[in-house]
A and B are shown apart, each in its own frame.
Chain A
Amino acid sequence: MKKFLKPIEPLLDKGLNTAESFIHTHRKVNFFFGAVFEAFDGLIRNPKETAQSPPFIRHNYDVKRFMGAVLVALVCGWVLPAIYLYGWQCVVPKLIVSFVAGVFIADFLWVIIAREEHIAEGGFVTCLFIPAILPPQAPLWLIGLGAALAIIFRNILGGVGNNLVNPALFSRLFLTICFPAFLVTGYQMPLIGTQGIHTVPQGLDAVTHATPFTAFKTSGEVASYLSLLLGTATGSLGETCRLALILSGLWLIKVKVANWRVPVSYLGSVFIFSVFFSLILGKAVAPPFFQLLSGGLILGAFFMATDPITTTYNQTAKWIFGAGCGFITVLIRDFTTLPEGVMYAILLMNLLAIPIQSLMVKIRYRL
């Protein structure tokens, strides 16, 4: 790779420098294409800033690598298994639509209108979540709308670093309210006949099936744990293959992108509270291991709840955050008619993270 790049390097560098100076000298070009160029330039070139105040040496780790690690984990965690389970015809068009609508349309337009934000790799993470948390047979326009909504919502709150709640989940909440029909149906059985490419844009196909949790709520039937773990049970596109999600989640924890406290406390509290309610109410509520392995819990615990921006900064408060997520998830699953509670739990705790954080700071520093 290095050898291959060497001959084109001086040429590319010169070309980029010329383009940069051209863009900066022409105001109208800068207005429309400045941000696009900046984003592209930022991807392949190191910025020229140097340390002007001590320490004069900096670690070779930046937000790009941080977000890159999340992207790698997501691709291994859900994109590859989903391609195997549902066929590439189902996954690839959704990804393309999500990226085009989210990053290349919503983010670019926002940068041109608002001029404050930079186009950054955070948008790719959000847009990679959108198809994962929607049903496999969701129509493409729904995916595009979701991605655009997520990016616009995130940018309105001030971009990466300022968002109050997870933008992908907020967008799913919005879609759940506006288009409930698409979110309660469209759960296709995996490995049963891939969609033909011509049926992809319309979404809804013939063979649909209730998700394991809906099936439990209507008939009390518990899906086999092995099928839940390996992804042969129904569910949203990205949440079915729990084994891959757990492995890539553990890798994220190992490279210290995800904080281990959140998944441990989230999954732990789901287990504890479901054991507690099972002991009291018996068969009326879902058994603990079924709770752990069904729905979006694994995806939510390893990838969504650990999003560092929307959790608390304080490390002790992360335990409370995770435990709160688990408690709300179990409450919604066991005592409401909603089929799944992970999204509501994480969104609610994202908002509650702010008072938890200030409370922990007050306790810790005795203010």
Chain B
Amino acid sequence: MKKETMGFKGGFHLLDAYPLPFCTIIDEISSDGAPEQFQFPVTGQKIEHVIVNLCPTEPWALPNWVILKHKTAAFLSMLKEIKTSYFSDARFHLAINEKEDRAVEDAVNFARAEDWIKVIPLCAKYPQDDPVILAQVLLGMDVSFGQDIKSLGILIVDAQTVSAMYEQGIMRKDVNSRYVVLSGTGLRENEIIRAELGTSVEKILKNKVKDASTCRVFMNGPLRGKEISDFSQKIDWSVNNIVVFEEKSRKVLFPMFKADELAFTTSLLGELRRCVYCNFCDDICPVDLEPALYYHSYIRGEKHKARLYNMGKCIECGLCSFICPSKLELLKIIRECKALDKHE
């Protein structure tokens, strides 16, 4: 099978920009009460396509080697058993990071003998693993942001979910814990831990944070995730990672020589300015929008006009705000204008 280069315009190589080293030490953390159980992701709908996503694009997300343990063939035979027991008439699509040569080779060798699975090596640039982009690149289907993709017969699972499905569905074992990646400048060390479902964030971060008063905690990454202020919140299966950033809310002298010190914090890394029409936002947009148009409509007070510029296609990946040299809050503006849409 020839190596296909599939993808989309725009996007950003987060993995190259923020290389995060992880040690292999894995802590086990148990919850206080009885741990919650893993819910098998299928509840009666007919699934036609299963996309197995082995292409995490965010450096703070769970890397593949934690689950695969460099044994891709064993993982794929696990996948085969799941297919025969649960998804006998579904097609499987394996999205895999093209840079992980050995895994790609193993998967391609495996898929040569099987006709139910297709291996697609992908460039791991953010937001390649977004459901909308995956469905579009792999299946050629137009899915809109926020739509329930299971109702379209598509199931997207990551490596950890596959292994949990195998353990619960085939081995008949209880699955009540998952890997969570802890990273960020606010922590003493970047770690991968195994925590029981239902453990509170407070317990997970205990003794790991440098200085609790100047830290901000984000669940599922600083780009797409949520900030959490209530640390008694319990983690469930959807929590892939927790990122803790230092809050650099003071002026830093000579920022040009301290790029590494400032880069992985919540700092805006620049002054708020007017839009200079630099075209960075539409160059980086993965769904080919022009976010600056929304900004211009917004500051003129024409929120309704902003929605005319294909706003429904936006997948809220946050790259426009991320790249903007004028540090404009483009994602906030987009969400505000979208919310206007719902009220009517």
Chain A contact residues, CB within 8 Å of chain B: 1-2, 5, 9, 12-13, 16-17, 41-42, 44-51, 53-66, 120, 159-162, 256-257, 259, 308-309, 311, 313-315, 361, 365, 367
Is the pair A61, B266 in contact by a Cβ cutoff of 8 Å? Answer: no
Is the pair A308, B268 in contact by a Cβ cutoff of 8 Å? Answer: no
Question: Min CB distance, B263 to chain A, in Å?
Answer: 6
Q: List 30 A-B contacts (CB under 8 A).
A: A2-B257, A13-B253, A44-B254, A45-B253, A46-B251, A46-B252, A46-B253, A47-B272, A50-B247, A50-B267, A53-B331, A55-B319, A56-B216, A56-B222, A57-B322, A58-B327, A59-B325, A61-B325, A62-B269, A62-B270, A62-B273, A64-B270, A160-B273, A161-B273, A161-B326, A162-B274, A311-B277, A313-B277, A313-B292, A365-B310
Is the pair B266, A63 in contact by a Cβ cutoff of 8 Å? Answer: no
Q: Which of B46-54, B100-108, B279-287 contacts A (4 or more CB under 8 A)?
A: B279-287
Given contacts A48-B251, A64-B271, contact A1 B321 (CB under 8 A): no
Is the pair B275, A65 in contact by a Cβ cutoff of 8 Å? Answer: no
Question: Min CB distance, B336 to chain A, in Å?
Answer: 10
In the complex, residue of chain B having the shortest beta-carbon distance to the beta carbon of A10: B253
Question: Min CB distance, A19 to chain B, in Å?
Answer: 12
In the complex, residue of chain A having the shortest beta-carbon distance to the beta carbon of B223: A55
Is the pair A58, B268 in contact by a Cβ cutoff of 8 Å? Answer: yes
In the complex, residue of chain B having the shortest beta-carbon distance to the beta carbon of A8: B253
Residues of A within 8 A of B283 (CB): 256
Is the pair A54, B270 in contact by a Cβ cutoff of 8 Å? Answer: no
Most chain B CB neighbours (cut-off 10 Å) among A13, A17, A46, A313: A46
In the complex, residue of chain A having the shortest beta-carbon distance to the beta carbon of B261: A46
- Residue B278 interfacial (CB < 8 Å): yes
Is the pair A308, B267 in contact by a Cβ cutoff of 8 Å? Answer: no
Is the pair B253, A63 in contact by a Cβ cutoff of 8 Å? Answer: no
| Interface SS of A by simple majority | loop
Map CB proximity to A onto B8-25 as digits: 1 under 8 Å, 0 otherwise.
000000000100000000
Is the pair A45, B252 in contact by a Cβ cutoff of 8 Å? Answer: yes
Most chain A CB neighbours (cut-off 10 Å) among B225, B255, B268, B270: B270
- Residue B171 interfacial (CB < 8 Å): no
Residues of A within 8 A of B248 (CB): 46, 48, 50
Residues of B within 8 A of A365 (CB): 308-310
Starting from the known contacts A13-B251, A54-B332, A64-B270, 5 additional A-B residue pairs (CB-CB under 8 Å) come to: A16-B251, A59-B324, A63-B273, A161-B326, A309-B276
In the complex, residue of chain A having the shortest beta-carbon distance to the beta carbon of B184: A57
Closest 9 CB pairs of A and B: A62-B270, A161-B274, A55-B318, A46-B255, A56-B222, A57-B222, A46-B252, A50-B266, A53-B332
| Interface SS of B by simple majority | loop
- Residue B40 interfacial (CB < 8 Å): no
* Complex interface residues of chain B between 206 and 235 (CB less than 8 A to chain A): 216, 218, 222-227
In the complex, residue of chain A having the shortest beta-carbon distance to the beta carbon of B60: A57
- Residue B293 interfacial (CB < 8 Å): yes
Residues of B within 8 A of A45 (CB): 251-255
Residues of A within 8 A of B290 (CB): 313-314
Given contacts A64-B271, A313-B290, contact A59 B322 (CB under 8 A): yes
- Residue B85 interfacial (CB < 8 Å): no
Question: Min CB distance, A73 to chain B, in Å?
Answer: 15
In the complex, residue of chain A having the shortest beta-carbon distance to the beta carbon of B317: A55
Question: Min CB distance, A364 to chain B, in Å?
Answer: 8
Residues of B within 8 A of A12 (CB): 253
Is the pair B327, A62 in contact by a Cβ cutoff of 8 Å? Answer: yes
Is the pair A9, B325 in contact by a Cβ cutoff of 8 Å? Answer: no
Most chain B CB neighbours (cut-off 10 Å) among A44, A47, A66, A367: A47
Is the pair A66, B278 in contact by a Cβ cutoff of 8 Å? Answer: yes
Is the pair A63, B268 in contact by a Cβ cutoff of 8 Å? Answer: no
- Residue B179 interfacial (CB < 8 Å): no
Residues of A within 8 A of B17 (CB): 59
In the assembly, what is the distance between CA of A118 and CA of B96, in Å? 49
Residues of A within 8 A of B276 (CB): 63, 66, 160-161, 308-309
Given contacts A55-B223, A61-B325, contact A160 B280 (CB under 8 A): no
Residues of A within 8 A of B252 (CB): 45-46
In the assembly, what is the distance between CA of A46 and CA of B251, in Å? 5
In the assembly, what is the distance between CA of A217 and CA of B9, in Å? 48
- Residue B1 interfacial (CB < 8 Å): no
Is the pair A308, B274 in contact by a Cβ cutoff of 8 Å? Answer: no
Is the pair B318, A54 in contact by a Cβ cutoff of 8 Å? Answer: yes
Residues of B within 8 A of A50 (CB): 247-249, 265-268
Is the pair B321, A159 in contact by a Cβ cutoff of 8 Å? Answer: no
Given contacts A55-B318, A367-B308, contact A1 B251 (CB under 8 A): no
Is the pair A315, B282 in contact by a Cβ cutoff of 8 Å? Answer: yes
Residue in contact with A48 in the complex, picked from B249, B257, B331, CB distance below 8 Å: B249
In the complex, residue of chain A having the shortest beta-carbon distance to the beta carbon of B336: A53
Residue in contact with A44 in the complex, picked from B253, B266, B267, CB distance below 8 Å: B253
* Complex interface residues of chain B between 85 and 130 (CB less than 8 A to chain A): none
Given contacts A64-B270, A314-B290, contact A56 B227 (CB under 8 A): yes
In the assembly, what is the distance between CA of A51 and CA of B282, in Å? 21
Residues of B within 8 A of A13 (CB): 251, 253
In the assembly, what is the distance between CA of A50 and CA of B185, in Å? 15
